């Protein structure tokens, strides 16, 4: 069903025939070739709590023009919308934006992509059940879709990044929190209403710490950058005075336990701090438990890891794989590559634009027979 003339949904079980905007059954051949582009470029928009970033993204996934503005996240709904249109207006003045035929928008929080609605996001309180895609489409007379930020980042990696060529991609970004996205045969798996894929809030210990979502023991409470810093601070506070553990972490934090962050833990670990290395080793174990569950449930062709803390944990991917020896029973888990994401802070801009790629733009390699360590 098409919900709007302008704000077309990203179908959950179908591919878009982008020339006629009609639903057709998705073709699952492993030999899709990249189709001839029907548009030179798309516009991707990344909306966060403090900023709006927009870019013109070409058919190869390159961001060829950019604009950036402040987000009025705590103003009225109209003020929030104006912040987005001002950033888009600045981008559209660039001649490279003239060939763009559609707009994709990335937002944090809960999204009903079929209706083009932002249901709610903690860091964008100005909008609740807000028809964002419809408003932008009406303003610019361009087709518009919206998606969750982790989902669209996963799509960017599947289309053009580290997951390109794989049919089934599981993406995780480790940062302040943990976001995940699932891409199957070139389509985001969104569930019934578009709210699926919140892998950061799957519980791995129901006796665990309280997560910001209200549940206990989520992987986000154990392996996000925030969790790494908190774990280190708690361990430092419990040390007996005069011990040598954690000395380098404290030195890097000017002697202030409360100033210890994941970045400081990483630096101290490189300098040989025993406690810092223990904290990171424990984090790899938690990730191994969680990824074992992911593999058991989804058996993806590739696992793509992004985010600032993701870069840190990829330096210890060998330890994560050691943990999987215990925590995955799938006989083929060793065949699944764990790779670092290609896109950095601009993954959401690229991924938002990728919401408009037709299914035939994706092509897949055959299953990798052996994982290189």
Q: In the prediction, which pLDDT does 38 show? A: 55
Q: Mean pLDDT, to the nearest integer, of 200-221?
A: 94
**CATH fold of 170-340:** Nucleotidyltransferase; domain 5 (3.30.420)
* Interval 21-32: pLDDT, tens: 222 222 222 222
Looking at domain 14-161+346-361, its CATH architecture is 2-Layer Sandwich (3.30)
Of the ranges 16-20, 145-149, 332-336, which one carries the lowest mean pLDDT score?
16-20
Residue boundaries of the structural domains of the chain: 14-161+346-361, 170-340
pLDDT(313) > 60: yes
Of the ranges 118-132, 158-172, 226-240, 243-257, which one carries the lowest mean pLDDT score?
243-257
Q: In the prediction, which pLDDT does 245 show? A: 74
Residues 164 and 350: their CA atoms lie apart, in Å, by 14
Residues 365 and 180: their CA atoms lie apart, in Å, by 23
Q: Do domains 14-161+346-361 and 170-340 have the same CATH topology?
A: yes
Residues 117 and 179: their CA atoms lie apart, in Å, by 19
Return the closest-CA partner of residue 262 out of 310, 204, 213, 202: 310
* Interval 318-353: pLDDT, tens: 999 999 999 999 999 999 999 999 999 999 999 999
Are the C-beta atoms of 292 and 324 separated by less than 8 Å? Answer: yes
Residues 273 and 119: their CA atoms lie apart, in Å, by 44
User: 276-303: b or e for each residue (b if 16 or more CB lie within 10 Å)?
Assistant: bbbbbeebbbbbbbbbbbbbeebebbbb
pLDDT(11) > 80: no
Task: Compare 371 and 221 and report the one with higher pLDDT.
Answer: 221
Q: What is the mean pLDDT of the chain?
A: 86
Residues 262 and 268: their CA atoms lie apart, in Å, by 10
Are the C-beta atoms of 328 and 296 separated by less than 8 Å? Answer: yes
Return the closest-CA partner of residue 179 out of 313, 355, 306, 316: 306
pLDDT(20) > 80: no
């Amino acid at each position: 069903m098409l919900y709007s003339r302008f704000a077309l949904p990203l179908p959950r079980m179908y591919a878009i025939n982008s020339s006629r905007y009609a639903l057709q059954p998705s073709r699952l051949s492993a030999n899709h070739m990249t189709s001839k582009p029907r548009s030179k470029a798309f516009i991707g928009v990344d909306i966060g709590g403090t900023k709006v970033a927009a870019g013109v993204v070409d058919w190869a996934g390159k961001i060829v023009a950019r604009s950036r503005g402040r987000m009025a996240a705590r103003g009225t709904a109209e003020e929030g919308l104006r912040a987005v249109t001002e950033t888009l207006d600045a981008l559209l003045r660039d001649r490279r934006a003239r060939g763009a035929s559609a707009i994709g928008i990335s937002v944090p929080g809960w999204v009903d992509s079929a209706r083009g609605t932002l249901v709610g996001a903690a860091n964008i309180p100005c909008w609740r059940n807000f028809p964002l895609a419809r408003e932008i489409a009406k303003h610019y007379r361009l087709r518009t879709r919206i998606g969750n930020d982790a989902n669209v980042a996963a799509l960017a990696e599947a289309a053009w990044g580290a997951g390109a060529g794989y049919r089934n991609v599981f993406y995780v970004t480790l940062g302040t929190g943990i976001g995940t996205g699932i891409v199957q045969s070139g389509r985001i798996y969104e569930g019934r209403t578009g709210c699926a894929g919140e892998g950061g809030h799957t519980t791995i210990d129901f006796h665990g710490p309280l997560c910001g979502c209200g549940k206990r023991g989520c992987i986000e409470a154990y392996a996000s950058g925030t969790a790494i810093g908190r774990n280190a601070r708690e361990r430092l506070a419990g040390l007996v005075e005069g011990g040598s553990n954690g000395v380098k972490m404290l030195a890097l934090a000017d002697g202030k336990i409360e100033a210890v962050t994941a970045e400081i833990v990483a630096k101290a670990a490189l300098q040989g701090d025993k406690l810092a290395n223990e904290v990171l080793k424990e984090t790899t174990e938690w990730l191994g438990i969680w990824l074992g569950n992911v593999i058991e449930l989804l058996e993806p062709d590739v696992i793509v890891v992004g985010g600032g803390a993701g870069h840190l944990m990829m330096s210890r991917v060998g330890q994560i794989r050691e943990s999987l020896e215990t925590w995955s029973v799938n006989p083929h888990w060793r065949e699944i590559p764990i790779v670092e994401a290609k896109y950095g802070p601009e993954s959401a801009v690229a991924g938002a634009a990728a919401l408009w790629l037709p299914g035939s733009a994706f092509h897949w390699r055959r299953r990798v027979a052996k994982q290189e360590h």
